[in-house]
């Protein structure tokens, strides 16, 4: 666990003044020598300066990764040896748990409890793939007499990995761990808002013994170097987590060189509460489902459907408990909801709330920046509950990516399934009921990659994570993720006793 606030290392002891690029095992200046500021969202203060990479720097990073892949030892190591290095990475991360948590909180404004859970999972991701890679592999297949066929799994190559700002280290682990396990090399592009723990991860990989050039970190403008990584002919695969529109652009650019692509994109996940549920459990789970991580989650359950028979009772408890959620200093262990990432994003959230009211919605709780001296600096928004909403309103269709939930009544299982599926997205969903027959009917009918039954949590190493429709494709966090970082080679051998004479000559 993290120490009490006054015992944790100060910012200056953990955060460097400046972060150059990490390429080929060393820190180097960007081609133009430029830096940009990285801030603490909870205070607005500058944490560090980070190198503003250029296309020329991307070329260097890709060249380092390509050389490490084509002629280095990493892709040629046995799975067992790579597994040992993944375990070593996890061990170092665990030994620096408090430091990683501290920097993650400083750089994201999320609560210390949220950071603890996310970094614990990041560590477990490396442990999971260390075990998985040792049993993954090819197979033999039945062939006609005289023929023998086997398949082998080989690394796909150089991987461009573009990660979001909402779960910086955890999302990096979701991508880096399986890529390393498969034998790939990496050019990692963290979000400009939150790059600091990506650098710490690169340092840890280097210390663990991952060879030079295997893990490279480049920071800079997402609109400039992100597309360049995606289009780069030296990159074999792109993995991206972020907005759906950006994902569409990445898919289009990657298609020019037929790159492999994994996309984990936006969501507008339904949360369905039936009248036979454990109401208190459903209230608590629904609060967590939308207000965890300040609602800045692609899987946030932001559309709440409540059966009309329990609507009044449920909403009374839901609003009352929401009013007891504490905002403030993310290092205060009594705080439940942290800061939002930036001033511009705070304005986006507030704009959606105002739009909801214009559309006829009613703010039942929140709907504004919190008041008080501790909120004079930084970027904040209250947990917000909006009623009198219909599923065709923009607030019910577009991803807000903040602590805002819309609430709708229903009285019919068939109709709530229709409304739940009436969205361009299909990432997460949840259902609360004591009738497990109904629960599994809902799970079957919902067009989403993830369904939670009486649970607010879905992301565990081993449980595939990914979406349907415009929430992307490909699955992370699971055994099948290794296939996304691998090529399958089929080897066919003739072992018959008589020579083949196909043409009869």
- Choosing from 264, 299, 346, 399, which is the catalytic residue? 264
Q: In angstroms, how far is CA 211 from the centroid of its own chain?
A: 26
Which residue intervals of 275-328 are DSSP H helices? 279-291, 311-323
Residue 132 sits in the same domain as residue 115: yes
Q: What is the pLDDT of residue 137?
A: 86
Q: What is the pLDDT of residue 5?
A: 38
Average of pLDDT values for 474-487? 97
Question: Maximum distance among all alpha carbons in the chain?
Answer: 93
Instruction: For residue 280, count other CB atoms closer than 10 A to its CB.
Output: 11
The count of structural domains within the chain is: 2
Residue 343 is part of which domain span? 270-453
Is 498 part of any domain?
A: no
Average pLDDT of the chain?
A: 96
Strand partners, 155: 486
Cα–Cα distance between 85 and 130 in angstroms, integer? 8
Active site residue 264: yes
Q: What is the pLDDT of residue 188?
A: 99
Question: CATH number of the domain that 352 lies in?
Answer: 3.40.309.10
Question: Which pLDDT band, with edges at 50, 70 and 90, does 85 fall under?
Answer: very high
Residue 237 sits in the same domain as residue 323: no
Residue reference for tokens 């498969």: 182
Express each pLDDT in 48-70 by its tens digit.
Answer: 999 999 999 999 999 999 999 99
Question: Which pLDDT band, with edges at 50, 70 and 90, does 489 fall under?
Answer: very high
Express each pLDDT in 268-312 by its tens digit.
Answer: 999 999 999 999 999 999 999 999 999 999 999 999 999 999 999
Express each pLDDT in 401-452 by its tens digit.
Answer: 999 999 999 999 999 999 999 999 999 999 999 999 999 999 999 999 999 9
Q: What is the pLDDT of residue 7?
A: 39
Average of pLDDT values for 470-475? 97
pLDDT for residue 6 is more than 90 = no
Q: What is the pLDDT of residue 11?
A: 52
Residue 53 sits in the same domain as residue 187: yes
For 488, the 3-state DSSP assignment is strand
Is 31 part of any domain?
A: yes
Is 5 part of any domain?
A: no
Residue 143 sits in the same domain as residue 46: yes
Q: What is the pLDDT of residue 14?
A: 87
Angle at 502 between CA 499 and CA 505, to 5 degrees: 90
Residue 224 sits in the same domain as residue 275: no
For 214, the 3-state DSSP assignment is coil
pLDDT for residue 144 is more than 50 = yes
Question: CATH number of the domain that 138 lies in?
Answer: 3.40.605.10
Residue 291 sits in the same domain as residue 432: yes
Q: What is the pLDDT of residue 4?
A: 38
Average of pLDDT values for 474-502? 94
């Amino acid at each position: 666990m993290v120490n009490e606030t006054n015992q944790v290392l100060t910012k200056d002891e953990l955060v460097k003044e400046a972060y150059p690029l990490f390429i080929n095992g060393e820190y180097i200046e960007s081609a133009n020598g430029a830096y940009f500021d990285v801030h603490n969202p909870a205070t607005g203060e500058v944490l560090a300066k980070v190198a503003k990479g250029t296309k020329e720097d991307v070329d260097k990073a890709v060249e380092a990764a390509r050389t490490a892949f084509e002629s280095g030892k990493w892709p040629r190591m046995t799975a067992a040896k790579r597994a040992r290095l993944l375990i070593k990475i996890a061990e170092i991360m665990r030994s620096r748990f408090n430091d990683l948590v501290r920097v993650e909180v400083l750089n994201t404004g999320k609560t210390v409890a949220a950071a603890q859970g996310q970094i614990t999972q990041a560590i477990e991701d490396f442990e999971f793939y260390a075990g998985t890679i040792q049993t993954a592999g090819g197979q033999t297949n039945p062939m006609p007499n005289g023929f023998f066929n086997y398949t082998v799994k080989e690394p796909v190559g150089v991987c461009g990995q573009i990660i979001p700002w909402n779960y910086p280290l955890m999302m990096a682990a979701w991508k880096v761990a399986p890529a390393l396990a498969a034998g790939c090399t990496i050019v990692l592009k963290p979000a400009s808002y939150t790059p600091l723990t990506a650098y710490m991860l690169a340092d840890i990989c280097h210390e663990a013994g991952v060879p030079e050039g295997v893990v490279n970190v480049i920071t800079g403008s997402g609109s400039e170097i992100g597309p360049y990584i995606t289009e780069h002919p030296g990159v074999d695969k792109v993995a991206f987590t972020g907005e759906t529109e950006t994902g569409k652009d990445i898919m289009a650019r990657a298609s020019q060189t037929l790159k492999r692509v994994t996309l984990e994109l936006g969501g507008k996940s339904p949360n369905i509460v039936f009248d036979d549920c454990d109401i208190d459990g459903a209230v608590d789970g629904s609060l967590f489902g939308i207000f965890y991580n300040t609602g800045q989650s692609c899987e946030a359950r932001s559309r709440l459907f409540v059966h009309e028979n329990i609507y009044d009772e449920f909403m009374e408890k839901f609003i009352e408990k929401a009013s007891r959620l504490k905002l403030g200093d993310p290092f205060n262990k009594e705080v439940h909801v942290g800061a939002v990432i930036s001033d511009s994003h705070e304005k986006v959230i507030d704009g959606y709330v105002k739009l909801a009211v214009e559309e006829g919605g009613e703010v039942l709780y929140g709907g504004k920046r919190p008041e008080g001296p501790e909120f004079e600096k930084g970027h904040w928004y209250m947990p917000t509950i909006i009623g009198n909403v219909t599923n065709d309103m923009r607030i019910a269709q577009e991803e807000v990516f903040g602590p805002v939930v819309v609430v709708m009544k229903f009285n019919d299982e068939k109709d709530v399934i229709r409304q739940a599926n009436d969205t361009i997205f299909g990432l997460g969903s949840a259902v609360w009921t004591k009738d497990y027959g109904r629960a599994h009917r809902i799970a079957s009918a919902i067009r989403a990659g993830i369904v939670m039954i009486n649970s607010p949590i879905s992301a565990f190493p081993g449980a595939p994570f990914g979406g349907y429709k415009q929430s992307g494709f490909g699955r992370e966090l699971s055994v099948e993720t290794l296939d996304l970082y691998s090529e399958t080679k089929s080897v066919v051998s003739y072992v018959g006793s008589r020579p083949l004479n196909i043409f009869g000559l």
